[in-house]
Amino acid sequence: MKLTLAVSALVSLAGAQTLCDQYGYYSANGYYVNNNAWGKDAGSGSQCTYIDKALSPGIQWHTDWNWSGGQNNVKSYPYSGRTLSSKKLISQIGSMPTKAEWAYSGSNLRADVAYDIFTASDPNHDTSSGDYELMIWLAKKGDVQPIGSSTGTVNVAGRNWDLWVGYNGAMKVFSFVAPQEIATFESDVKPFFTHITNTQGFPASSQHLITFQFGTEPFTGNNARFNVWYWYGEVN
Ligand SMILES: *[C@@H]1O[C@H](CO)[C@@H](O)[C@H](O)[C@H]1NC(C)=O
């Protein structure tokens, strides 16, 4: 009896480190990881995500994928997220320090590497969308582009970005796109919110931070490996 219990405990621990189900999920030490393959039916392929190391603070993980077909459809969004103990108003947040170190390999890659951050007036809003979405694209592989259209170059947090604005249904999306890939990004995310508050009418005093995530959105490619050597995010 004891032996059976010990063996099944080991198996379930191993299962928690490798996520191949459509929404395979892991959570520990203030971080979570989702193999999220929400758009897989727009094409064909497969994807698995691996938790490599829980750090303190932060997490190391990677994802392997092949996706084809549905050229202009996002197939998935494997990501890591920071568990939020309380849903603060953006205006009450002092800083959002973060660091991402990553590398991509594979062929014919069409994907972004991006932060994905949702806000909502309702702190209990479903976390798969929001009233507003803030994206920070550290890389753009191939001919993919954000939602909406470019409003031109802006300087935020010491770097230039191409700021895209548009709508995904009712959700307003702001995407800051790096003109050159940033493989090691260490920054504060709060200035991005300050920028859209000051220039784009973002209502910081009535929107709550409901997610703080970093990952990749694959469209198509072969034998892809997205390695996140380190990801850390904090909300102060
Ligand atoms: C992707 O395709 C390659 C070549 O067929 C294969 O070796 C690899 O296991 C595939 N990876 C996934 C995650 O499907």
Find the range with the poorest average confidence among 1-10, 96-105, 149-158.
1-10
Contacts for 225 with CB less than 8 Å, ≥ 6 apart: 62, 63, 64, 104, 105, 106
| CB-facing half-sphere around the CA of 157: CA atoms within 13 A | 20
Mean pLDDT of the chain: 94
Contact 66, 221 (CB under 8 A): yes
Paired residues of 59 in beta bridges: 54, 231
Domains, the chain, with CATH or none: 7-233 (2.60.120.180)
> What pLDDT score was predicted for residue 56?
87
- Which residues are registered as beta bridge partners of 100? 185, 231
CB contact at 8 A, 209 and 117: yes
Q: What is the mean pLDDT of residues 107-121?
A: 98
Say what the pLDDT of residue 8 is. Answer: 38
Q: What is the mean pLDDT of residues 129-141?
A: 98
Burial 21-40 (b: 16+ CB within 10 A, else e): eeebebeeebbbbbbbbebb
- Indicate whether 172 pLDDT > 60: yes
Catalytic residue of the set 181, 186, 217, 234: 217
Global model pTM greater than 0.85: yes
Mutate to test the pocket of ligand 1, among 19, 35, 50, 66 (most ligand atoms within 8 A of CB): 66
Q: CA-to-CA distance for 234 and 57, rounded, in angstroms?
A: 9
Nearest ligand 1 atom to alpha carbon 223 = 1
**1-38 pLDDT, tens digit each:** 344 444 433 433 444 599 999 999 999 999 999 999 99
Tell me if residue 133 is catalytic: yes
- Give the tens place of pLDDT for each residue, 198-219: 999 999 999 999 999 999 999 9
pLDDT in tens, 52-88: 999 989 999 999 999 999 999 999 999 999 999 999 9
